[in-house]
Amino acid sequence: MQDPHREAELNAALELVFHGYKSLTARPDRILETRGLQRVHHRVLYFVGRNPGLSVGELLAILGVTKQALNAPLRQLQEMRLVDSSPSPADGRARLLRLTPDGIRLERLLTGVQRRHLERIFSKAGSASEAGWRHTMEWFARDPG
Protein backbone atom coordinates (compact mmCIF):
# COMPACT_ATOMS: atom_id res chain seq x y z
CA MET A 1 0.00 0.00 0.00
CA GLN A 2 1.04 3.63 0.00
CA ASP A 3 2.59 5.65 2.75
CA PRO A 4 0.33 6.95 5.54
CA HIS A 5 0.76 10.59 4.49
CA ARG A 6 -0.46 9.84 0.94
CA GLU A 7 -3.35 7.79 2.29
CA ALA A 8 -4.42 10.74 4.47
CA GLU A 9 -4.23 13.08 1.45
CA LEU A 10 -6.39 10.72 -0.60
CA ASN A 11 -8.88 10.37 2.26
CA ALA A 12 -9.12 14.16 2.44
CA ALA A 13 -9.74 14.28 -1.33
CA LEU A 14 -12.49 11.64 -0.99
CA GLU A 15 -14.13 13.68 1.73
CA LEU A 16 -14.04 16.79 -0.49
CA VAL A 17 -15.70 14.84 -3.31
CA PHE A 18 -18.38 13.59 -0.94
CA HIS A 19 -19.10 17.01 0.60
CA GLY A 20 -18.89 18.82 -2.76
CA TYR A 21 -21.40 16.44 -4.33
CA LYS A 22 -23.65 16.76 -1.30
CA SER A 23 -23.53 20.54 -1.64
CA LEU A 24 -24.28 20.41 -5.38
CA THR A 25 -27.26 18.06 -4.97
CA ALA A 26 -28.80 19.31 -1.68
CA ARG A 27 -31.18 21.93 -3.04
CA PRO A 28 -32.32 19.92 -6.10
CA ASP A 29 -32.87 16.93 -3.79
CA ARG A 30 -35.20 19.03 -1.62
CA ILE A 31 -37.14 20.17 -4.71
CA LEU A 32 -37.40 16.58 -5.95
CA GLU A 33 -38.54 15.36 -2.54
CA THR A 34 -41.56 17.70 -2.62
CA ARG A 35 -42.70 15.81 -5.74
CA GLY A 36 -41.89 12.33 -4.44
CA LEU A 37 -38.89 12.07 -6.77
CA GLN A 38 -35.23 11.25 -6.25
CA ARG A 39 -31.86 12.10 -7.76
CA VAL A 40 -32.20 9.36 -10.39
CA HIS A 41 -35.25 11.19 -11.75
CA HIS A 42 -33.17 14.36 -12.11
CA ARG A 43 -30.50 12.46 -14.03
CA VAL A 44 -33.14 11.13 -16.43
CA LEU A 45 -34.69 14.59 -16.88
CA TYR A 46 -31.25 16.14 -17.41
CA PHE A 47 -30.08 13.74 -20.12
CA VAL A 48 -33.42 13.51 -21.91
CA GLY A 49 -33.58 17.31 -21.81
CA ARG A 50 -30.14 17.58 -23.41
CA ASN A 51 -30.92 14.88 -25.99
CA PRO A 52 -34.57 15.11 -27.14
CA GLY A 53 -35.51 12.01 -29.11
CA LEU A 54 -33.03 9.88 -27.19
CA SER A 55 -33.88 6.18 -27.24
CA VAL A 56 -34.28 4.24 -24.03
CA GLY A 57 -31.22 2.18 -25.01
CA GLU A 58 -29.14 5.32 -25.50
CA LEU A 59 -30.27 6.64 -22.12
CA LEU A 60 -29.27 3.34 -20.51
CA ALA A 61 -25.80 3.69 -22.03
CA ILE A 62 -25.40 7.30 -20.88
CA LEU A 63 -26.49 6.51 -17.32
CA GLY A 64 -24.61 3.21 -17.17
CA VAL A 65 -27.52 1.41 -15.53
CA THR A 66 -29.56 -1.68 -16.30
CA LYS A 67 -33.00 -1.67 -17.88
CA GLN A 68 -34.41 -2.86 -14.55
CA ALA A 69 -32.82 0.08 -12.69
CA LEU A 70 -34.25 2.62 -15.15
CA ASN A 71 -37.69 1.08 -15.55
CA ALA A 72 -39.41 2.34 -12.39
CA PRO A 73 -38.04 5.93 -12.42
CA LEU A 74 -38.78 6.34 -16.13
CA ARG A 75 -42.29 4.95 -15.73
CA GLN A 76 -42.91 7.31 -12.81
CA LEU A 77 -41.75 10.32 -14.86
CA GLN A 78 -44.06 9.24 -17.69
CA GLU A 79 -47.01 8.78 -15.31
CA MET A 80 -46.37 12.27 -13.93
CA ARG A 81 -46.37 13.57 -17.52
CA LEU A 82 -42.81 14.86 -17.27
CA VAL A 83 -41.39 12.54 -19.95
CA ASP A 84 -43.12 11.44 -23.14
CA SER A 85 -42.27 8.28 -25.06
CA SER A 86 -43.08 7.61 -28.70
CA PRO A 87 -42.13 4.89 -31.17
CA SER A 88 -39.12 5.53 -33.36
CA PRO A 89 -40.08 6.10 -37.01
CA ALA A 90 -36.98 4.09 -38.00
CA ASP A 91 -37.64 1.17 -35.62
CA GLY A 92 -41.10 0.85 -34.05
CA ARG A 93 -39.67 -1.29 -31.25
CA ALA A 94 -37.43 1.53 -30.02
CA ARG A 95 -38.99 4.21 -27.81
CA LEU A 96 -37.84 7.82 -28.15
CA LEU A 97 -37.94 10.06 -25.11
CA ARG A 98 -38.72 13.76 -24.83
CA LEU A 99 -39.50 16.05 -21.95
CA THR A 100 -43.03 17.40 -21.80
CA PRO A 101 -43.49 21.14 -21.13
CA ASP A 102 -43.81 20.33 -17.39
CA GLY A 103 -40.70 18.16 -17.61
CA ILE A 104 -38.79 20.98 -19.28
CA ARG A 105 -39.80 23.39 -16.51
CA LEU A 106 -38.79 20.97 -13.74
CA GLU A 107 -35.48 20.08 -15.39
CA ARG A 108 -34.66 23.78 -15.89
CA LEU A 109 -35.46 24.49 -12.24
CA LEU A 110 -33.32 21.62 -10.91
CA THR A 111 -30.38 22.10 -13.24
CA GLY A 112 -30.59 25.88 -13.00
CA VAL A 113 -30.06 25.64 -9.25
CA GLN A 114 -26.94 23.56 -9.88
CA ARG A 115 -25.61 25.84 -12.63
CA ARG A 116 -25.96 28.87 -10.37
CA HIS A 117 -24.21 26.96 -7.56
CA LEU A 118 -21.31 26.06 -9.87
CA GLU A 119 -21.13 29.64 -11.15
CA ARG A 120 -20.85 30.99 -7.57
CA ILE A 121 -18.13 28.50 -6.71
CA PHE A 122 -16.18 29.00 -9.95
CA SER A 123 -16.32 32.79 -9.63
CA LYS A 124 -14.89 32.54 -6.09
CA ALA A 125 -12.23 29.98 -7.03
CA GLY A 126 -11.08 31.69 -10.22
CA SER A 127 -10.62 30.51 -13.78
CA ALA A 128 -7.39 28.57 -13.13
CA SER A 129 -9.09 26.56 -10.38
CA GLU A 130 -12.11 25.95 -12.61
CA ALA A 131 -9.84 24.71 -15.40
CA GLY A 132 -8.06 22.37 -12.97
CA TRP A 133 -11.37 21.06 -11.67
CA ARG A 134 -12.64 20.43 -15.22
CA HIS A 135 -9.41 18.64 -16.10
CA THR A 136 -9.71 16.40 -13.04
CA MET A 137 -13.39 15.65 -13.70
CA GLU A 138 -12.56 14.73 -17.32
CA TRP A 139 -10.11 12.15 -15.99
CA PHE A 140 -12.77 10.80 -13.64
CA ALA A 141 -15.25 10.56 -16.52
CA ARG A 142 -12.78 8.58 -18.63
CA ASP A 143 -11.74 6.21 -15.84
CA PRO A 144 -14.82 4.51 -14.36
CA GLY A 145 -12.69 2.58 -11.91
Q: Give DSSP secondary structure letters for 21-55.
A: HHHHHHHHHHHHHHTT--HHHHHHHHHHHHSTTEE
pLDDT of residue 144: 76
pLDDT of residue 126: 97
pLDDT of residue 1: 55
Select from 111, 32, 40 the least CA-distant residue to 75: 40
pTM for this entry: 0.91
Select from 72, 94, 74 the least CA-distant residue to 84: 74
pLDDT of residue 71: 95
Q: How far apart are CA 41 and CA 110, in angstroms?
A: 11
Backbone angles phi, psi at 16, to 5 degrees: -65, -40
Q: Which residues contact 81 (CB under 8 A, 6 or more apart)?
A: 100, 102, 103
- 99 DSSP assignment: E
Q: Which domains does the chain have, with CATH numbers?
A: 4-142 (1.10.10.10)
Given its phi and psi angles, is residue 71 left (phi above 0), alpha (psi -120 to 50 degrees) or beta?
Answer: alpha
**What is the residue-level pLDDT of the chain in tens, covering all 145 positions?**
579 999 999 999 999 999 999 999 999 999 999 999 999 999 999 999 999 999 999 999 999 999 999 999 999 999 999 999 999 888 878 899 999 999 999 999 999 999 999 999 999 999 999 999 999 999 998 887 7
